[in-house]
Each structure stands twice: as structure tokens, then as C-alpha cells.
Amino acid sequence: MQLAFCLYKYFPFGGLQRDFLRIALACQARGHAIRVYTLGWHGEIPAGFEVLRVPVRAITNPRRNEKFTAWVQQDLARRPADRVVGFNKMPGLDVYYAADPCFEDKARTLRNPLYRISGRYRHFSAYERAVFAPEVHTEILLISAAQQPLFMTHYGTPARRFHLLPPGIAPDRRAPPDAAQIRAAFRREFSLGEDDLLVVQIGSGFKTKGLDRSLRALAALPEMLKGRTRLIAIGQDDPKPFLVQLHTLGLGDRVRILGGRDDIPRFLLGADLMIHPAYHEAGGIVLLEALVAGLPVLTTSVCGFAHHIEDADCGIVLPEPFEQAACDQALSRMLADLPARRRWSENGLAFAASADLYSLPERAADVILRGRG
């Protein structure tokens, strides 16, 4: 079959983008042709992929999205595809990969009611309705079971259209046999002594992922503990607001903010703790990447994959509503308690060996190639 995949932007360091690529490659491995519509592609193009950079521009994101949709639909009218798979909400999809949380629920619970008269609200609400309305036939690939009742409440989406996927951890995120040697080499490279502690935060979109919360928690550590602790944040985003914040908090030499990179497994093995106090996160694949590497995790319950951290007993999940003081206390406790970190690490590795955390691409491909239920 000819498959068409739609996503606004591709870059190799985003969780959604990595999921897209692995799903598309799984479909290609079964003999199907891959065409990709995108506004921008950064990175290598896999052999056999037809990547179309849609030539539209606009001052606002809603207008740009509308132009993108119109261009894609015109091209599909000329060159039809057997399945149209979207990784962003838009009209005309056969299958949608639900990496983003329910927009309508956020608009009604987290925003001022006046927001709902804005053009931005009308656009994103309409594009979400185009996927989840009961009269639409789009099949939905779900990565967070907690999101399904929200979509069903706001749109009346039939339950049969939802397909809950297992996580899809890449094999290279698991701790290899020489994990100790990799950790030692990493810590030498970053000048980390035996008593030093490294906290990592990984994920593009620093505001959404709660980097501001992490910096405040680091600044609140007791002085003796703070003096031993460093934070490295990695992601594809503008670091300027957070550079200002960390200097205001007096953390200038304790924090590094790095761009997206392809050697994340080294950081997972070299660190002592992952912090991920996200404001909202439908999934949060980095939580599971830390789990399978044996890295304890501090995160928030809004993350769709946070329940795996609780199931594995490999860290602390902060309840909602978020309280900065609770985050501060949890970070301090986890860094100060070496036996607990060792136990959380062992629990994560054991869970990684027994749970299905890896088959998302194959299961997603099953739904895409099967077509409408």
C-alpha cells in the first residue's frame, strides 16, 4: 500500500518524531511505500522515504496549519494514498497518533473562559473535533489510557476507535552489559567525582517539561547537597528564559543546557537521577528510557507513562495539583538517599526485563495496515 504520514515538523530528538519514524519504518519493513508531508525535516531521510516539504507560510500557527492541510489534501487528491496517518490533529486522517493531550479539556480546565472566544481556540478545537467527533471514522492510536475518557467526554468518541498501544522503547536505551564502564567514562568526561551527583532532564519543549520547576528544586537543596549536585538539561528549545532563571537563582555553575543530541543513552547511564516535572505530557517516553537504563525518576502524575514508574517502583511520582515544595523535598530526599536510589535502579532494570515496553511500532503498524474497524 501507499501510506501517507503527516506531521508538522520532524527533528531527530523529539519523542513524537522518534515514534513517527519507528512506526513508519515498521510499515516500510512490511513492504509498504512511505510518503511524508511535513513543514520541515531536519536530519537524515531514511532510504525509500518520499519526503515532501510543504511550501506554505503564515504569520500564525493556526493559519499555517490550515494552509498545510489544504496543500496536503490537494496533493492527495492528485496522488491518493491507501492510508493517511497524522501525528498532529487535522482533518482527513484515517489514523491519528495521539501524542498530545486533550486540547478541549485543557482549554476548559486550565484556561480563562475568555480564551474560548479566541481564534486560536476555535482553530485547535475544530482540528481536534475533526479527529474525535463521533461521526468521523479516524482510528486513534492511544499512548495514555488516562486520555481516552477525556476525549470521550468532550466528543462522544466511540470506544471502538481507540487502540491503546504499549510503550515503544528503543533497544539502545536498555542498560548494556558494560553499563558500569560507560558510566565511568561519561563521568570522567564531565569531571564528575565519586561524591558528585548528576541530575538530568531530557526532552524538547523546556516550558512544557517543567525545567523551571527543576531549577527551583535544585536551588532549594540544602547547601551541602547543592554543592555536590549538577543538572544537565537536554532538548531542542530556546534556552534563554531558563538561562536567565538559573542565574537569578544563583545556579550558574551548577547547570548546563544542551541542545538535542543522539548520545542520550550515555547520559542515562552516567546520571544519578532523572527529573521530569512536566506541566502536561500525554506519554513521556523519557521516563521509560530512564527506567530501562536503571536511572531513578522524579516526575509528575500528569505524564501518561508515570504509572510505569509507580508499577516498577523505580522513583517518585508527584501527585496533582503540583506543589513546588513537594518537588523540592522529593529531589532532596532522592539525592540524599543512596540505598534508595540503588533499590529504585534495580527495580527498574527488573521491570525492563519482564514488561512489554518495546512493541509500540509493531502494534501501531498493525492498526494502520488493518484500516478502519
Is residue 372 pLDDT above 60, yes or no?
A: no
- Report how many domains make up the chain: 2
Written as nine digits, the cell of 242 is 531558563
Say yes or no: 193 and 142 in one domain. no
Give bridge partners of residue 3 from the DSSP assignment: 34, 83
The answer to whether residue 373 scores a pLDDT higher than 70 is no
Mean pLDDT of the chain: 95
What phi and psi values does residue 13 have, to the nearest 5 degrees? Answer: -110, 0
- Provide the domain limits for residue 157: 2-166+358-370
Main-chain phi, psi angles of 35, to 5 degrees? -120, 135
- Cis-peptide into 55, omega within 30 deg: no
Mean pLDDT along residues 202-210: 94
Q: Are both 178 and 145 inside the same structural domain? A: no
Pair (339, 364) in one structural domain: no
pLDDT at 196: 97
282 pLDDT more than 80? yes
Are residues 61 and 210 located together in one domain of the fold? no
Extract the C-alpha cell encoding 65.
496549519
Q: Poorest-confidence range of 141-145, 159-163, 280-284?
A: 280-284
Query: Span 89-113, mean pLDDT?
Result: 95
| Confidence check: pLDDT of 15 > 90 | no
Same domain, 151 and 30: yes
116 shares its domain with 232: no
**CA proximity to 230, closest of 185, 195, 278, 181:** 195
Q: What CA dihedral angle connects 192, 194, 199 and 200, to 10 degrees?
A: 50
306 and 343: one domain?
Answer: yes
| Statement to judge: residues 272 and 329 lie in one domain | yes
pLDDT of residue 97: 98
- State the greatest distance between any 2 C-alpha atoms of the chain, in Å, as a whole number: 66
Residue 371 pLDDT level (bands cut at 50, 70, 90): low
- Please give the Cα distance from 282 to 285 (Å, whole number): 10
Same-domain status, 325 and 191: yes
Same domain, 13 and 114: yes
Evaluate if residue 47 carries a pLDDT over 90: yes
Query: Coil, helix or strand for 165?
Result: coil
Question: Which residues touch 343 (CB under 8 Å, ≥6 apart)?
Answer: none
Residues 182 and 137 in one domain: no
* 59, 132: one domain: yes
- Please state, in angstroms and rounded to a whole number, the distance separating the CA atoms of residues 305 and 16: 14
Segment 52-79 mean pLDDT? 98
How is 201-263 classified by DSSP, letter by letter?
EE-S-HHHHTHHHHHHHHHTS-HHHHTTEEEEEE-SS--HHHHHHHHHTT-TTTEEEE---S-
DSSP SS3 for 96: strand
CATH number for the domain that contains residue 231: 3.40.50.2000
Q: Would you place residue 168 in the very low, low, confident or very high pLDDT band (cuts 50, 70, 90)?
A: confident
pLDDT of residue 367: 97
Distance CA 238, CA 254 (A): 19
**What is the DSSP-derived secondary structure letter of residue 281?**
B
Q: What percent of the chain has pLDDT over 70?
A: 99
Predicted structure pTM score: 0.85
